Chain A
Amino acid sequence: MGRLGDQLASNLKLLRQALGDSDDVIVRKFLIGGRQRAALIFIEGLVDEQTIQRDILHRLMLEAIAQPQAGGQSPVRSVQALAERVVTAVHAKPLTQVRQMVEQVLAGQTVLLVDGLEQALLVKTQQREERGVQSPVSESVVRGPQEGFTENVQVNVALVRRRVKDPRLCVKHFIVGERSRTKVVVLYVRDLAPPEVVGEVTGRIERIRTAQVLETGMIEEMITGRRISPFPVARLTERPDKTAAALNGGRVAVLVEGSPGALLVPTVLLDMLIAADDYSHSPAVVVLMRLVRFLGVALVLFLPGLYISLAAYNPDALHIDSAMAIAASREGVPLPAVLEVVLMELMMEMLLEATVRLPTKVGSAVTVVGGLIIGRAAAEAKLISNAMVVIVAATTIGSYTQASYEAALALRLSKWLIIAGAAVFGLFGMFLAILLLLVYQNSITSFGVPYLAPFAPPIPRDLARDSLFRRSWWSVQHRSRTFGARDRRRAVGTGKNGPQDGDS
């Protein structure tokens, strides 16, 4: 595209061509101080017109007359002088490259061209309609901060910075997407995050070659190289506090413009089962909460497969009373147990999908209709057994208990592998599928960290610190080893934390 010339008309023509000659590209021509021709180029809707009117046009057209050095009596000789003396916008800098100008105009900035000058002045006038900081949708907590990320990446960085007021917090900007020019921000704490992880993350982001990036999921796939695995190897969070905690643990956060979330890497499976407010409640309560979540995992994964195995292959493994109850429940049901499970689970998947897609009010109605009325009616009509209704309900509730929506989705998909194993070989097949799942999970790494850590490989100190239970804050002396934080000590130079003699 080259550089600007000194003729306003040719410069305008050059920029118009570069910007695609679209109708929303506005060229506002005017005279500086009533004499020298100039023009503003910006895109309608992306800019704050009040800023343009107040800080640029008004200053240049009317007030510049009174300032001799800035075009009042003589022609303007440099845009730098305009930036220093006339234009009152917060950010203004000279540009010469047409390519840079095009990028900035598309990002919502305004370019000032002056006849006779080979430089243009870039003025920051970007404005976008956006929602304010609201509560996270998918990571709501009972206790703890209620702030969530927004679509504005700068606001998101600010939300994190407010929680990590550390000069060692590094914020690195990248532009990804040849056409979307999406801003991607990488955050890490310099003396905590392992350099190899930081290097790997930034390197992978730099290597991304794509036309457009619209949200974090695309970046996640591109930097993790994930193929068909349902298990997320980057933890998506909507919570700035969780992001700050991860940074403090030596992890790296990736924020993407236009996405209300941060990707935390590396991540492990256990991370998916830990909710944000686990750290706000008493450790005693957390044991119960995590136990419930683990039970939820077990229900989602095993219950449908177990039902098929016990109802169709291995009823001898049931207690006689349970065998009687299941046999009585299945009496008269035309479908075999396998088909019953497959159909009902598919129905429930459809119901869940409908609940997510539909507006909130209609969604709840669908849940009631689908879950209660259709389920009960189907059981009464003997299309399915009562036991099956209980199993599907338990499975669904189990998936709702998960702290991460991605983890719940992964579980829901893994469940089908176990169903398939049970359908083919009964209990034997079910355990084979579970083994397969474990082997696969054991093979996954997230930026070099084994996915099943700290269980496999076992990291006893981390297991004791924060796994099925968590230790009290005052007794936590070290950072997690799982993510390889460089500075392991959590409380530097304060000695032993916790209650002292005489404390009550």
Chain B
Amino acid sequence: MRRRPAERLLLLGLAATLLISGCWDYRDIDNRALAIMIGIDRGEKKSHQVCVQIALPSKLKIARGGAGGGGGGERDKPYRVMCAEGAGVALALDDIRASLTQDLDTSHLKIVVVGAEMARAGLDQIDWVARNLQMMNTAFITVARGRSEEVVRAETESEEIPAFYLYHAYSGEFTRSRAVTPQHVWQVYYRDLMSGAHDPVLPAVTGRKYGLNFQGYGVFRGQRLAGWVDGLDAETLGMFLGRRISGTLQTSFPGQPEAVTGLFVNNGSVKRAVELREGQPVLRISMRLSGDMRGLRTGVAVLNTQIERKLEEGYARDAERRVRSLIRKLQEMGTDPLGFRERLRRLDPSHPAVTDEQIWLRMYAEAPLEVRAEVTMVTPGTKK
């Protein structure tokens, strides 16, 4: 019997479904080993050591019907860590693949941790990440204060899979910590690196105390880690880098040096600029901050307009001091994450500091800093 075109098409479709299903890329999700976090260090025997945190979904509480506990043994963890060394990241990963019965799937890789030693040697050593276009958009990159393996192996109380702790933090889902700037997917870092507008900054993390900890920033000079910014300096740097101004300022209550008050900064603007005076660059920072007072450390005093103004002046001095401390540190390290050199280029493209790296480093280290801060106290700390 002569078949009509529609019937032929139908038969062809049916045959295709049955016969060629799975000829391309078909791999069931349960046959994929989902790598969530990867740590890259210098290896002992080879140039790279790679540690991968692989999720074991069937051991998640949700898969076990919410049953918790289970003794916490290695076999009960909903993830496992596998490490291998290789002449490059891809080769080390191949080594890990060889030990797996499933296909190592990096499409859900969320965190790339670079060990401090590797970061000092230069991130150009791990261009494997940069070559993966998808990963560039989805993976957050962070730098370990020590070896990245410590971070990959560290446990957290709040998340079953430790990588999710960092992922949720960096994607801004649960933390407002000023040590975490939720924007450092690899692509952003790479964009900073390639643009030359300013040196890159990566959030730093350790795997020592209480599991995973955010600990300041690693600041880079080009591809290479130049040093760390910690504590209040990190908080101030976060104010420059974050998508919204946030931080705390302190000052003493007028007439009571022991009564320290805090201002929770939640709004404002921070501007930086460069001026040329007699051919020398002058760094200028102007800040307009506002926030709520968060109580007194000792005693309670009555506020009035005069006292409020004095408190605002005190907070402004603290802001200036903090900025000076940060910039001084950055000048010492010779890194420019705030993009002063780019501003100089816009001002005078032919300036020797723009064209010559060494001249810039020298001038930057000696450049005077002018800081002007204005602080407005929105509420005195009492709320309905």
Contact = CB atoms under 8 A, between A and B. Distances in A.
B28 A330 contact: yes
A228 B164 CA distance: 51
A316 B36 CA distance: 12
Contacts of B57: 323-325, 327-328, 331
A312 B6 contact: no
Interface stretch (B103-111, B268-276, B354-362, B368-376): B103-111
A424 B17 CA distance: 6
A227 interface: yes
A420 B63 CA distance: 29
Nearest to B108: A320
B302 interface: no
Listed from nearest, the 4 A-B pairs whose CB atoms lie closest are A316-B107, A328-B63, A328-B57, A331-B58
A330 B16 contact: no
A500 B34 CA distance: 66
A57 B28 CA distance: 82
A337 B20 CA distance: 15
Interface of B: 4, 6-7, 10, 13-14, 16-17, 20-30, 32, 34, 36, 55, 57-58, 60, 62-63, 105, 107-108, 110, 134, 164, 167
B26 A325 contact: no
16 contacts: A227-B4, A228-B6, A312-B22, A315-B32, A315-B34, A315-B107, A316-B107, A323-B34, A323-B108, A328-B62, A331-B30, A337-B29, A419-B17, A420-B17, A424-B20, A424-B23
A160 B10 CA distance: 41
A227 B6 contact: yes
Nearest to A337: B28
Which of A417, A419, A424 has the most CB atoms of chain B within a 10 A radius of its CB?
A: A424
B108 A424 contact: no
B30 A320 contact: no
A398 interface: no
A315 B105 contact: yes
Given A312-B26, A312-B27, A338-B22, A324 B16 contact: no
B13 A324 contact: no
Given A315-B107, A325-B63, A420-B14, 15 more contacts: A311-B29, A312-B28, A313-B25, A320-B108, A320-B110, A327-B30, A328-B57, A329-B63, A331-B58, A336-B28, A337-B28, A338-B21, A420-B13, A420-B16, A423-B21
A497 to B, nearest CB: 47
A269 to B, nearest CB: 19
A350 B110 CA distance: 43
A320 B30 CA distance: 14
A326 B23 CA distance: 22
A330 B10 CA distance: 31
B20 A311 contact: no
A328 B62 CA distance: 8
A325 B63 CA distance: 7
Contacts of B25: 313, 426
